[in-house]
């Protein structure tokens, strides 16, 4: 017999980036710690980024909202694993106001998107890919050297990726907070549990 699904007590569409990081810990913290190396998590993030690039290139929008918010989920998971406070990184690296630390993520999306009114979608999507790959690159350097500068660079790239994700989403008319509400309001987007019971192990991104 299936266990009845109980909705989360709060609406994700009002969650701040801090609250989204906390939610990600509650849902995926255990499974990520058990099953994924940091490089695996960076790879998952790039996989979903490649899907976003594919759909932008093909001008097919059906899955874009899902893949964009799964990207944000993996960014939160990666930041949690590295003990990076994304809201602080956004202030340090992207000049985000301190008030956005506790503001709904939708306000952050609006603020970042307003900075790039003339940027066209293909350019925004390329920027997102560049920043996402730079996370993996910085983490690879850090793993090899343990040099603080590479960890700072990874933190910087995570913040830049969140900003680029907001810009791409807005160019597509995707409201990330609404997509998160749609796909994560019961916990894991696949098994709809808190904590995740499926392990998000599926090798194939779909």
Cβ atoms of residues 185 and 7 within 8 Å: yes
Geometric angle at alpha carbon 127, from 21 and 72, rounded to 5°: 20
Q: Which of 32, 170 has the CB closer to Zn ion?
A: 32
Cα 58 → chain centroid: 22
Question: How many C-beta atoms lie closer than 10 Å to residue 154's C-beta?
Answer: 27
Kindly state the smallest distance separating residue 80's Cβ from Zn ion, in Å.
16
Q: Is 198 in the site for Zn ion (CB under 5 A)?
A: yes
Region near Zn ion per CB under 5 A, out of 58-66, 84-92, 119-127, 182-190: 182-190
Using the minimum distance from each CB to Zn ion, give the nearer residue, 174 or 196. 196
Of 75-83, 106-114, 156-164, 189-197, which part binds Zn ion (CB under 5 A)?
189-197
| Interface size with Zn ion, residues (CB under 5 A) | 5
Q: Which of 78, 154, 174, 188 binds Zn ion (CB under 5 A)?
A: 188
Q: Which of 47, 143, 182, 190 binds Zn ion (CB under 5 A)?
A: 190
Pick 114 or 198: Cβ nearer Zn ion: 198
Is residue 29 close enough to count as binding Zn ion by CB under 5 A? no
CA-CA distance, 39 to 137, in Å (whole number)?
Answer: 10
- What single string gives the DSSP state of each residue in 6-36? ---SS-GGG--HHHHHHHHHHHHHHHHHHH-
Look up residue 4 and give its DSSP letter.
Answer: P
Q: Residue 77 to residues 61, 190, 206: CA-CA distances in angstroms? A: 25, 16, 19
CB nearer Zn ion, residue 30 or residue 198: 198
194 binds Zn ion, rule: CB under 5 A: no
94's enclosing H/E stretch is helix 86-94
Residue 53 or 73: which CB sits closer to Zn ion? 73
Please report how close the Cβ of residue 28 comes to Zn ion at its closest, in angstroms: 8
Which residues here bind Zn ion, judged by CB under 5 A?
188, 190-191, 196, 198
């Amino acid at each position: 017999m299936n266990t009845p699904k109980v909705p989360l007590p709060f609406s994700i569409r009002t969650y701040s980036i801090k609250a989204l990081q906390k939610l990600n810990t509650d849902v995926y913290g255990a499974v990520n710690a058990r099953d994924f190396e940091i490089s695996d998590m960076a790879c998952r993030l790039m996989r979903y980024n490649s899907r976003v690039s594919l759909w932008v290139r093909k001008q097919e929008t059906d899955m874009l909202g899902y893949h964009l918010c799964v990207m944000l989920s993996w960014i939160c998971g990666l930041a949690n694993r590295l003990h990076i406070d994304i809201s602080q990184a956004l202030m340090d690296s992207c000049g985000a106001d301190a008030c956005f630390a506790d503001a709904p993520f939708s306000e952050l999306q609006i603020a970042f998107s307003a900075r790039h009114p003339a940027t066209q979608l293909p350019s925004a999507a390329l920027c997102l890919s560049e920043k996402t790959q730079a996370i993996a690159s910085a983490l690879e350097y850090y793993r090899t050297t343990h040099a603080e500068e590479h960890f700072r660079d990874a933190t910087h790239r995570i913040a830049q990726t969140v900003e680029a994700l907001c810009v791409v989403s807005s160019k597509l008319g995707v409201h990330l907070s609404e997509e998160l509400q749609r796909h994560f309001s019961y916990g894991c987007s696949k098994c709809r549990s808190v904590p995740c019971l499926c392990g998000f192990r599926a090798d194939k991104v779909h």
